[in-house]
A and B are shown apart, each in its own frame.
Chain A
Amino acid sequence: MPFELDTGNTAWLLTSAALVLLMTPALAFFYGGMVRGKSVLNMMMMSFGAIAVVGIIWVLWGYSMTFGSDVAGIFGNPTEFFGLAPLTDDANSLLAGSGVPALVAAGFQATFAIITVALISGAIADRARFGAWLVFAGVWVTLVYFPLAHMVWGGGILGAGENGIAAAIYGVTDGIANVAPIDFAGGTVVHINAGVAGLVLALIIGKRKGFGKEPMRPHNLPFVMLGAALLWFGWFGFNAGSAGAANEVAGLAWVNTTVATCAAMAAWLLTERLRDGHATSLGAASGIVAGLVAITPAAAAVNPIGAIALGAVAGVLCALAVGLKYRFGYDDSLDVVGVHLVGGLVGTVLIGLLGTDTGLFYGGGIDQLVIQVVIALAAVIFSGVLTFVIGFVIKVTMGWRVSEDAEVGGIDLAEHGETAYETIAQGRVIQEVRA
């Protein structure tokens, strides 16, 4: 074997993978609490369904399309590591540098693909057919997530390699672009990507019946708080795990993830208090997620003071951005745009100012800022165009929406044959045992 197994790094990455997988059920609670009581199960099932579909596809061709041999700078060879069996071969078994088995890294990365898909579901709450969602999950992760992850992390055109846009603009030294784009744990790949996809789907699928007219209050704010807390916990795997090793980079990412999130929560609450009169629990939960999103690309690029500034900016901007859907009339039901797109853009772009090695505020000049804007825009365009095509094809073939009666009566009952809460009006129980 070319490298020696590092048990410490491997243990941390296995732990991180479990932490990140927890984030998707956590998201189910975060989103589930925000919808009305008649659609909480469907909302949570969109996250759980994404785990099932994406988890299988990742093992079959997802890892290979992300980290396989480069094809045109856009995606990896889907057959190279098909089914992950080749990762158990000696030649591929340990990653260079960290001494972590490639199979462990593949497991860790699976959880990122899963949550990215699940994040989109918040934009289309209460109205999408479950089958259409599962088809979308499988197609979208294949045509949008894997290629974008490959472009940024797998040696494609948005990375630091010789074939990348950054190398073309700024030149190359020893195979690395002179100004390397930074996306530590997924500002472009995960959050800008999911945010844009959510916006596009919300536009294609249309508004919930009664949007902007009928009250659509969150039905269970304690669920939202619980979800936010579990997301924060899982996010330590997301960010500190993205160091790929149990080292000082992981430590910096851990501290930055904590303090940026504290700052974003405080900033969101302050914004609400000044504008609306009250600091709300929904605002605290939302501020937590906004901060986690924003620090994701920057977790190892800024120092803790920079992380506080970055988190505070994200908290204020996201708190203001969630109101845009009413002004522009799109029903991004649970603010995937306002939190993930805006937070992802804030984090990705602010690296150009706050990055301690190359940021403008630290004497690094304007180049890092420029390349950060370039990769952010590239992610927006790539995700936007392809999501539109996929969403539109599903709309004209299988159709996205449940019937109006089903939507009004509650999508839980229509799509899953269940209701979340017992009410006295449900009538008598007829028991039928099916063999």
Chain B
Amino acid sequence: MKLVTGIIQPHRLDDVKSALEAAGVRGMTVSEASGYGRQKGHTEVYRGAEYTVDLVPKVRIEVLVDDEDSSTVTEAIVKAAQTGRIGDGKVWTVTVDDVARVRTGEHGAGAL
């Protein structure tokens, strides 16, 4: 099993969700995140005082999948989240040892 994690622009979330649903993904975890990559931050001015805001808002999306689906899911996220500008984010995949479904207690691929 794999865990695919994507850090994306917040405004791409709806498209990414739709793309994942179309790819057959039945569940995901979405959380608000903040960070920066090559785009760095921006400046804000309040009553003449300038602040550098280096962490910018992002959305983290996490999907647990079978091994053979991970590249499809990764490509779906990349394709849907891409705008071509700096700050589009990253997607990575890691191997997962075990998954348990809380409701039933079942383990492994059946719990996905």
Nearest chain A CB to B82 CB, angstrom units: 29
Query: Interface size on A (CB < 8 Å)?
Result: 18
Query: Interface size on B (CB < 8 Å)?
Result: 9
User: For B47, what are the chain A residues with a Cβ–Cβ distance below 8 Å?
Assistant: 282-283, 286, 319, 322-323, 335, 338
- Selected from B46, B51, B53, the residue in CB contact (under 8 A) with A280 is B46
B48 and A215 contact, CB distance less than 8 A: no
User: For B22, what are the chain A residues with a Cβ–Cβ distance below 8 Å?
Assistant: none
Q: Is A326 an interface residue when CB atoms closer than 8 A count as contact? A: yes
Q: Is A251 an interface residue when CB atoms closer than 8 A count as contact? A: no
A-B contact count (CB 8 A): 30
User: For B44, what are the chain A residues with a Cβ–Cβ distance below 8 Å?
Assistant: 217
Q: Is B45 an interface residue when CB atoms closer than 8 A count as contact? A: yes
Q: What is the bound-complex CA distance between A363 and B63, given in angstroms?
A: 79
Q: Is B49 an interface residue when CB atoms closer than 8 A count as contact? A: yes
Q: Is A428 an interface residue when CB atoms closer than 8 A count as contact? A: no
- Selected from A215, A280, A335, A338, the residue in CB contact (under 8 A) with B45 is A280
Counting chain B CB atoms within 10 Å of each CB, the highest count among A276, A280, A282, A338 belongs to A276
Q: Is A277 an interface residue when CB atoms closer than 8 A count as contact? A: yes
Q: Is A55 an interface residue when CB atoms closer than 8 A count as contact? A: no
Q: What is the bound-complex CA distance between A219 and B50, given in angstroms?
A: 15
Q: Is A209 an interface residue when CB atoms closer than 8 A count as contact? A: no
A282 and B49 contact, CB distance less than 8 A: no
Closest B residue to A214 using CB positions: B51
A217 and B51 contact, CB distance less than 8 A: yes
B45 and A277 contact, CB distance less than 8 A: yes
- Selected from A277, A282, A319, A338, the residue in CB contact (under 8 A) with B46 is A282
Nearest chain A CB to B15 CB, angstrom units: 27
User: For A277, what are the chain B residues with a Cβ–Cβ distance below 8 Å?
Assistant: 45
A276 and B51 contact, CB distance less than 8 A: no
Q: Is A275 an interface residue when CB atoms closer than 8 A count as contact? A: yes
Nearest chain A CB to B73 CB, angstrom units: 27
B45 and A218 contact, CB distance less than 8 A: no
User: For B46, what are the chain A residues with a Cβ–Cβ distance below 8 Å?
Assistant: 217-218, 280, 282
Task: Tell me the residues in window 93-115 of chain A with beta carbons closer than 8 Å to chain B beta carbons.
Answer: none
User: For A278, what are the chain B residues with a Cβ–Cβ distance below 8 Å?
Assistant: 45
User: For A218, what are the chain B residues with a Cβ–Cβ distance below 8 Å?
Assistant: 46
B48 and A319 contact, CB distance less than 8 A: yes
Q: What is the bound-complex CA distance between A225 and B65, given in angstroms?
A: 47
Chain A 328-346 per-residue mask, 1 if CB under 8 angstroms from chain B, else 0: 0000000100100000000
User: For A215, what are the chain B residues with a Cβ–Cβ distance below 8 Å?
Assistant: 51, 53
A323 and B49 contact, CB distance less than 8 A: yes
Task: Tell me the residues in window 33-47 of chain B with beta carbons closer than 8 Å to chain A beta carbons.
Answer: 44-47
Q: What is the bound-complex CA distance between A275 and B48, given in angstroms?
A: 8
Nearest chain B CB to A65 CB, angstrom units: 36
User: For A286, what are the chain B residues with a Cβ–Cβ distance below 8 Å?
Assistant: 47
Closest A residue to B49 using CB positions: A326
Q: What is the bound-complex CA distance between A338 and B48, given in angstroms?
A: 12
Chain A 240-284 per-residue mask, 1 if CB under 8 angstroms from chain B, else 0: 000000000000000000000000000000001001111010110
Closest B residue to A278 using CB positions: B45
Counting chain A CB atoms within 10 Å of each CB, the highest count among B46, B51, B53 belongs to B46
Q: What is the bound-complex CA distance between A335 and B49, given in angstroms?
A: 12
Nearest chain A CB to B30 CB, angstrom units: 15
| Subset of 11 A-B contacts with CB under 8 Å | A215-B53, A217-B51, A218-B46, A278-B45, A280-B45, A286-B47, A319-B48, A322-B48, A323-B47, A335-B47, A338-B47
Besides A215-B51, A275-B48, 6 other CB < 8 A contacts?
Answer: A217-B46, A280-B46, A282-B47, A322-B48, A323-B48, A326-B49
Residues of B whose CB lies within 8 Å of any CB of A are: 44-51, 53
The 9 A-B pairs of least Cβ separation, nearest first, read: A323-B48, A276-B45, A322-B47, A215-B51, A282-B46, A217-B51, A322-B48, A218-B46, A217-B46
